[in-house]
Structure 1
Amino acid sequence: MKAFIVLVALALAAPAFGRTMDRCSLAREMSNLGVPRDQLARWTCIAEHESSYRTHVVGPTNYNGSNDYGIFQINDYYWCAPPSGRFSYNECGLSCNALLTDDITNSVRCAQKVLSQQGWSAWSTWHYCSGWLPSIDSCF
């Protein structure tokens, strides 16, 4: 009986652990959100190296006390309002917790804003994604 209760508790808690996507599921969802297909291989590479495709990741504290959130590890000093209430420029106009949900729309929109203002090199893992990348065509 104890084992059953533990299993039920774990099953109920599972959604709190977030969603783990894969390369193709991310590419398809981003495409459905209007992201240009010629950018999808780069975005999937960034997500792989930043969060291992996990939507719920909060990165370790950075040298300046900030943290990075979500599948694209978006920084709370510049782009979203941290739950702590610490100062943020909040350029995306949203709570950092909005970047941790299974619905990646906020993460994609905010990441696109980062890209438009700072370019691909805004992500520290960009060097993994700056050269030739495998095609995402087989995902569609």
Structure 2
Amino acid sequence: MKAFLALVLLAIAAPALAARTLDRCSLAREMANLGVPRDQLDKWTCIAQHESNYRTCVVGPANSDGSNDYGIFQINDLYWCKADGRFSYNECGLRCNALLTDDITNSVRCAQKVLSQQGWSAWAVWHYCSGWLPSIDDCF
């Protein structure tokens, strides 16, 4: 009976574990449709590649301060979103789970807020993305 219950719970949870994986061009097009300036798209796609490998459902390992990073842009739960049972400044005004969905709207809006307040260097992977990047024009 316990094994049956475990299988039922796993079957119910399985859809929640599925993650959407975009590619460079699909992310660029979705972000453009959300109003992100085209001259930023090469940087955003580079950040997403290095932070989450374009996956929407990534929760990073604990940082040195005990916080975690969420979603395709790996947004931190101490400053930007609210994780269960943790203090957060929650500057984006949303639950961290909202950054893990297949709809990237919340992730994009929150990432834009991070950018406006802290600049590109808010992302630890920025050194990969701060130089020459291939044009995103071939995606459109």
Could you state the TM-score of these two structures normalised by the residue count of structure 2? 0.89
CA distance in 2, matches of 1:71, 1:33: 15
CA distance in 1, matches of 2:137, 2:20: 23
For the residue of structure 2 that corresponds to 1:91, the secondary structure is coil
Could you state the TM-score of these two structures normalised by the residue count of structure 1? 0.89
Offset from partner CA, 1:32-60 (integer Å, 9 cap, x none): 00000000000000000000000000000
- The match for 1:45 is 46
- Letter matched to residue 32 of structure 1: N
Do residues 110 (structure 1) and 110 (structure 2) align? yes
Alignment of 1:6-85 (within 5 A): 13=14, 16-83=17-84, 85=85
- Letter matched to residue 72 of structure 1: F
Offset from partner CA, 1:59-112 (integer Å, 9 cap, x none): 0000000000000000000000012x2100000000000000000000000000
- Letter matched to residue 16 of structure 1: L
- The match for 2:133 is 133
- The match for 1:6 is none
Sequence identity of aligned pairs in percent? 80
Query: Cα offset for 1:15?
Result: 5.8
Query: Cα offset for 1:14?
Result: 5.2
CA distance in 2, matches of 1:16, 1:66: 21
CA distance in 1, matches of 2:44, 2:52: 12
CA distance in 1, matches of 2:64, 2:16: 31
Query: Cα offset for 1:18?
Result: 1.1
Do residues 87 (structure 1) and 87 (structure 2) align? yes
CA distance in 2, matches of 1:82, 1:15: 17
C-alpha RMSD of the superposition? 1.6
Unaligned runs of 5+ in 1: 1-8
